[in-house]
């Protein structure tokens, strides 16, 4: 089944898009940008995939304007691609068929904060740091932290997660409802503000992670958490990766519930030592954070120390004071930049998979061996409480053989994860980079996904070329 | 739009169903039951809705058999209704168009328990108590507790929750993947066993809560939790409902995370005193459970006591010993039977709504006033941490004016909840009882749901007559 029709620029399709853009310009005048540099900024993410710029970038101010733009584009069968901050990692924003990119930079209103209900409703362009700055005086915080200062709309569309997910969940868990514009220009809200419901199909979760291919998220209501009375940070190195993973498994079985459990592999630690002038042992190392009452968090940190000691853990350090915590976690915070400094001037892109935690040791160890054999320099950083880890290769993307080696490395990493009952991506998404892995993971489920796509976007106008394989035989 | 075609028995439709049943009998012989009493047992749930028995009940042994049955039924356009334990509350199992009921009583295999991953995979017929009995020696437990000993397949299909949801989540949160048979007989698994994924559309959540109308869940993988080191139970009565709700709000803002927070209203307490020979104050009363480390759970219980005291709470009792905990919680455990004993011989059905917790006081107080004015005797029991509560009217379902009074009471309760940014059902589902409330809650979302239904079940064979309104103008 071929759904994504490849189109060549300069054809009837691009003529239609030009007409759509002319109509949009009449309505939105200088909020429609067609300069190449703006278009290129919007046609690319941090990946090896070539830039594919849209035909125009437009900056809507309201949900109603988004609906109007979608209706105009629909009339001319012009693709529509929603854009938050452009920090996705798998080519989610490429415009292989051209079309119009909707940049949410103007939609940054925080519409309501309900302190009693621990939720807030924001426009899709608000970033997580903007929200947390706004919340500073409320005693509440927004938990999902994917590293980048992404927009909440983009985070919902890609089902983002990050370091806090092990305790507080991913975007899948914290989004209460979304407001969205569908391919036919209909706008609707996917649910009430109740904490739970069993009324009808779960359209909220259908849109979360759909990468802008089923509807465009314009607003969302998300859960907040009370800032805990106490936050404790801890660091512990292990003789073996297995010891680190086993400690996490045992802690979870005992009902411990750390807020963050991050793993850095020995090469990443070496990079951090060099980058930040630290003297950490070059061993598999866990970075932890415990949230709770004063006694409760201390007790969890102590119990974890006991468990770690039983699994070859040493040098267990923990701290409650903010400054000491920052010092302890410095290596984790700067991991990305430290990795990049390993090979100055090199390109870097991040590949992620996620496996059941019982398979994590094996999966990481095989991946490490594979990295060594590939001749590519790459560090491993993991959200180990979730079984999710990233490989950060440093390479020259313009060198075809290095590029191929990295692609093959990622290929084997995905196949390995899927063979261990895991997923081809824990938090980066499919985008255009991972479409070929979907069928191995879902089998007949892919046809069900395609049926839903066809039912809700029959002309394939919303972010075409993403999630599903295109071309002959797809 | 009319999708659900009403069909009259004795017509061409019932002829087709008879043929389908004859074909099924050839294949499944004595596992196909057509006796009236079996059919009636399967055509009814605890509600006021009249029994609508299916034409046959069949007991499949495997997913492959489910797929075979669905294909046979599809050939004759015969409806298929999945049945777990029959404990749903809104007429989910009625067969308004006849058809074949699939009873999962034979599908009770526990396929795997992954202690390290805190998950297990079971066939859909396994009940929550059966699973927890099986898990007894592992130190793990399955958290979702809707009261009834429901099957996990049924709980997933209705997005069930219950008393533990405030800490551990509902079925929406704990199901990792499902295996399902779709309307065309395709069977597939909705995801891997990874804790999180951002690969493709979220078919797991699309099936959870779809009430057997999109696919039939035959297996599911669910999260388990480590049994906490310490469990503390507490009971506290309040001068006012507002004081009870405000205490829960403040505790949550402070980051406390009780495992259960249950509210009983004064009439329910009176019923419990009479039923169990207790002497609780006839006031709004919270029943709490704290899970954690020894110190952590004690600290949470003590902090909650302070918060309660600031909000008119008195008589705060807590206990760690199992026997003392059972004594403290006796009233909550027996609430349903105590309510029934208020009017011996009366009928009882349960209506539920869920609102943001900031609106809970107002919603419960207005509902209580409405109950008084209705002349119906009814208690209120709530999962107050979620903003979810139940009204349990005691009445004579054969008395048309009493039945009408109860229906009107539920009608106003739903409208009230929806006007307070809440949902028409927090955990009971739509079934056939609440179809008329869906549009007020989702607006254009209902058309999106119908599009999905049409795409995945074009002949409307899976549990027809549920979720969506039927008949002229629907």
Q: What's the mean per-residue pLDDT of chain B?
A: 94
Residues 6+ apart with CB under 8 A from B8: none
Site from A70, A182, A195 to mutate, B interface, most B CB atoms within 10 angstroms = A195
Q: How far apart are CA B185 and CA A165, in angstroms?
A: 36
Residues in CB range of A30: below 8 A, 6 or more apart: none
Same domain, A242 and A136: no
Domain boundary among B187, B206, B226: B226
Q: How far apart are CA A123 and CA A128, in angstroms?
A: 12
The answer to whether residues B125 and B216 touch, using CB atoms and an 8 Å cutoff, is no
Q: Are residues B222 and B111 in the same domain?
A: yes
**pLDDT reading at B335 higher than 50:** yes
Q: For chain A, how are helix, strand and coil distributed in percent, rounded to 5?
A: 40, 20, 40
- A471 part of a folded domain: no
Residue B1 has pLDDT above 60, yes or no: no
Residue B28 lies in a domain: no
Q: Counting one residue from A and one from B, how many pairs have CB atoms under 8 Å apart?
A: 322
3-state SS class at B118: coil
Residues B333 and B361 in one domain: no
Contact state of B198 with A355 under an 8 Å Cβ cutoff: no
Give the C-alpha separation, B470 to A8, whole Å. Answer: 46
B413 in the same domain as B333: no
Last-in-domain residue among A189, A210, A226: A226
Sign of CA dihedral B21, B24, B28, B31: negative
- From residue A359, give the alpha-carbon distance in Å to each of A132, A355, A364, A412: 35, 6, 9, 16
CB A204 within 8 A of CB A240: no
First-to-final CA distance of chain B: 6
What's the token pair of residue B440?
């007020």
Which of A198, A386, A444 has its CB closest to that of B196?
A386
Question: Are the beta carbons of A354 and B195 separated by less than 8 Å?
Answer: yes
Distance CA A436, CA A469 (A): 6
Digit-coded pLDDT (tens) for B106-155: 999 999 999 999 999 999 999 999 999 999 999 999 999 999 999 999 99
Closest-CA residue of chain B to A185: B444
Q: A232: which strand partners? A: A290
Asked, for residue A379, whether it belongs to a domain, the answer is yes
Query: Nearest-5° angle of CA B327, CA B320, CA B137?
Result: 95
Distance from C-alpha of A171 to C-alpha of A39, rounded to nearest angstrom: 28
Interatomic CA distance for residues A333 and A235, integer angstroms: 13
Is A35 touching B (CB cutoff 8 A)?
A: no
The residue to which tokens 């070539």 are assigned: A50
Radius of gyration of chain B, Cα coordinates, nearest whole angstrom:
23
Distance CA B64, CA B183 (A): 14
Q: Does B19 fall in a domain?
A: no
Per-residue pLDDT of chain A (474 residues; tens, 9 = 90+): 333 334 455 688 889 999 999 999 999 999 999 999 999 999 987 788 889 999 999 999 999 999 999 999 999 999 999 999 999 999 999 999 999 999 999 999 999 999 999 999 999 999 999 999 999 999 999 999 999 999 999 999 999 998 999 999 999 999 999 999 999 999 999 999 999 999 999 999 999 999 999 999 999 999 999 998 899 999 999 999 999 999 999 998 888 889 999 999 999 999 999 999 999 999 999 999 999 888 889 989 999 999 999 999 988 999 999 999 998 888 888 999 999 999 999 999 999 999 999 999 999 999 999 999 999 999 999 999 999 999 999 999 999 999 999 999 999 999 999 999 999 999 999 999 999 999 999 999 999 999 999 999 999 999 999 999 987 655
Q: What is the CATH number of the domain that holds B271?
A: 3.30.70.2190
**Non-local CB neighbours of A145 within 8 Å, separated by 6+ positions:** A128, A162, A163, A164
Please give the average per-residue pLDDT across B325-341, as a whole number.
91
Residue A66 CA to residue A185 CA, distance in Å, equals 8
Contact B194/A291, CB-based, under 8 Å?
no
Q: Do B198 and A253 touch (CB under 8 A)?
A: no
Which residues from chain B sit within 8 angstroms of residue A197, using beta carbons? 159, 354, 423, 425-426
% of chain B beyond a pLDDT of 90:
87
A198 interfaces chain B, CB cutoff of 8 Å? yes
Q: How far apart are CA B327 and CA A243, in angstroms?
A: 43
B113 in a domain, yes or no?
Answer: yes
Q: How far apart are CA A168 and CA A145, in angstroms?
A: 10
User: How many whole angstroms separate alpha carbon B316 and alpha carbon B374?
Assistant: 34
Residue A322 domain flag: yes
In this complex, do B117 and A427 lie within 8 Å of one another by their Cβ atoms? no
In Å, what is the CA distance from A390 to each residue of A336, A343, B203, B323? Answer: 11, 18, 25, 48
Alpha carbons A349 and A370: distance in angstroms, whole number: 17
Beta bridge partners of B58: B32, B102
* B235 lies in the same domain as B218: no
Count the neighbouring beta carbons within 10 Å of the beta carbon of residue A187: 19
Task: Looking at the structure, tell me whether residues A221 and A278 fall in a common domain.
Answer: no
Taking a contact as any Cβ pair under 8 Å apart, which residues of chain A between 111 and 130 contact chain B?
114-119
Quote the crossing angle between the two packed helices A400-419 and A360-374, to the nearest 10°.
160
> In Å, what is the CA distance from B211 to each residue of A18, B91, B349?
46, 11, 20
Structure tokens at B111: 């396929």
Whether B470 maps to a domain, the answer reads: no
Q: Cα-atom radius of gyration of chain A, to the nearest Å?
A: 23
Please tell me whether residues B329 and B287 are part of one structural domain. yes
What is this structure's pTM?
Answer: 0.96
**Above 80 in pLDDT, residue B358?**
yes
Between CA B59 and CA B32 the distance in angstroms is 7
The domain total for chain B is: 3
Tell me whether residues A194 and B426 touch, CB distance under 8 A. Answer: yes
- Tell which residue, A93, A98, A77, has the closest CA to residue A153: A93
Euclidean distance between CA atoms B323 and B28, whole angstroms: 49
Q: What is the mean pLDDT of residues B397-406?
A: 95
Residues B114, B195 within the same domain: yes
Same domain as B205, residue B175: yes
Q: Which residue from B465, B474, B470 is spatially nearest to B99, judged by alpha carbons?
A: B465
The answer to whether position B89 is within a domain reads no
Q: Show residues of chain B in contact with A294, CB under 8 Å.
A: 299
Question: What is d(CA B261, CA A201) in angstroms, rounded to the nearest whole number?
Answer: 27
The domain of A431 spans 343-435
Yes or no: say if A197 and A96 are a contact pair by the CB < 8 Å rule: no
Cβ neighbors of A156 (< 8 A, separation 6 or more) are A124, A171, A175, A178, A207, A208, A217, A220
Which residue of chain A comes nearest to B196, CA vs CA? A426
Distance, in Å, from the CA atom of A316 to the CA atom of A309, rounded to the nearest integer, reads: 9
pLDDT of residue B9: 55
Task: Characterize the bridge pairing of strands A351-354 and A110-114.
Answer: unpaired
Residue A358 sits in a domain whose CATH number is: 3.30.70.2740
Where is the domain boundary, A171, A195, A226? A226
Quote the CA–CA distance of A380 and A365 in Å, as a whole number. 10
For the CA atoms of B363, B364, B370, B375, what is the dihedral angle to 10 degrees? Answer: 160
What is the C-alpha to C-alpha distance for residues A106 and A96, in angstroms, rounded to an integer?
25
Residue A412: closest CA among A372, A472, A446, A470: A372
The closest CB to that of B455, out of A293, A442, A454, belongs to A454
Does the pLDDT at position B255 exceed 90?
A: no
- Which A positions 370-399 lie with beta carbon below 8 A of chain B? 386-388
Distance CA B146, CA A299 (A): 32
The alpha carbon of residue A409 is apart from the nearest alpha carbon of chain B, in Å, by: 19
Name chain B contacts of A210, Cβ cutoff 8 Å: 201-202
Do strands A140-141 and A187-189 pair parallel, antiparallel, or not at all (unpaired)?
Answer: unpaired
B240 plus B149 within the same structural domain: no
Neighbours of A8 (CB within 10 A): 9
Specify whether B332 is located in the same domain as B357.
no
Do the Cβ atoms of A191 and B423 come within 8 Å?
yes
Whether chain B has a CB inside 8 Å of the CB on A441: the answer is: yes
CATH of the domain at B133: 3.30.465.10
What is the pLDDT, as a whole number, of residue B48? 80
Distance from CA of B382 to the nearest CA of A (A): 13
- Closest Cα partner for B6 from B81, B97, B76? B97
What's the pLDDT score for residue A7?
A: 47
Q: Which of B429, B25, B3 is closest to B212 using CA atoms?
A: B429
Domain match, B411 and B385 both: yes
Q: Do A200 and B160 touch (CB under 8 A)?
A: no
Q: Is the pLDDT of residue B196 over 60?
A: yes
**Is the pLDDT assigned to residue B315 strictly greater than 90?**
no
> For tokens 């080191």, what's the residue?
B229
CA distances for B50 relative to A102, B82, B105, B440, angstroms:
51, 19, 24, 25
């Amino acid at each position: 089944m071929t759904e994504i029709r490849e189109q060549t620029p300069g054809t009837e399709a691009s003529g239609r898009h030009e007409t759509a853009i002319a109509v949009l310009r009449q309505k939105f005048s200088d909020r429609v940008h067609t300069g190449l540099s703006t278009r290129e900024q919007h046609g690319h993410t941090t990946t090896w995939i070539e830039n594919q710029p849209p035909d125009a970038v437009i900056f809507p101010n309201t949900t109603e304007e988004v609906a109007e733009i979608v209706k105009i584009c629909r009339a001319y069968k012009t693709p529509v691609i929603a854009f938050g901050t452009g920090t996705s990692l798998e080519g989610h924003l490429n415009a292989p068929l051209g079309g119009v990119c909707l940049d949410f930079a103007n939609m940054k209103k925080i519409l309501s904060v309900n302190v009693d209900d621990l939720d807030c409703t924001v426009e899709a362009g608000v970033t997580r740091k903007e929200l947390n700055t706004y919340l500073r005086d409320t005693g509440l915080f927004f938990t999902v932290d994917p590293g980048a200062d992404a927009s909440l709309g983009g985070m919902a569309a890609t089902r983002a997660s990050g370091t806090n997910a092990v305790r507080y969940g991913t975007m899948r868990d914290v989004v209460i409802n979304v407001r969205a514009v569908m391919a036919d220009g209909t706008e609707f809200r996917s649910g009430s503000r109740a904490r739970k419901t069993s009324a009808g199909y779960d359209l909220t979760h259908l849109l979360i992670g759909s990468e802008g291919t089923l509807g465009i998220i314009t607003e969302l209501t998300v859960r907040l958490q009370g800032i805990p009375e106490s936050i404790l940070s801890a660091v512990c190195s292990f003789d073996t990766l297995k010891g680190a993973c086993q400690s996490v498994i045992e802690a979870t079985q005992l009902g411990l519930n750390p807020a963050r459990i991050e793993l850095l592999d020995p090469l990443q630690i070496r990079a951090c030592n060099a980058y930040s002038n630290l003297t950490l042992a070059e061993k598999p190392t866990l970075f932890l954070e415990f949230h709770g009452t004063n006694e409760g968090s201390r007790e969890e940190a102590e119990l974890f120390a006991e468990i770690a000691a039983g699994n070859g853990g040493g040098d267990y350090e923990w701290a409650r004071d903010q400054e000491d915590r920052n010092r302890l976690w410095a290596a984790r915070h700067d991991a990305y930049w430290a990795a990049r400094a390993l090979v100055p001037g090199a390109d870097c892109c991040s590949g992620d998979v996620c496996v059941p935690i019982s398979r994590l040791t094996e999966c990481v160890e095989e991946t490490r061996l594979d990295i060594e054999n590939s001749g590519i320099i790459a560090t491993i950083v993991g959200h180990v409480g979730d079984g999710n880890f990233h490989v950060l290769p440093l390479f020259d993307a313009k060198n075809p053989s290095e590029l191929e080696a990295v692609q093959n490395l990622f290929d084997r990493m995905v196949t390995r994860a899927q063979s261990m009952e895991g997923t081809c991506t824990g938090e980066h998404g499919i985008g255009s980079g991972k479409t070929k892995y979907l069928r191995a993971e879902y089998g007949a489920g892919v046809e069900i996904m395609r049926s839903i796509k066809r039912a809700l976007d029959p002309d394939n106008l919303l972010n075409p070329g993403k999630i599903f394989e295109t071309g002959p035989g797809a």
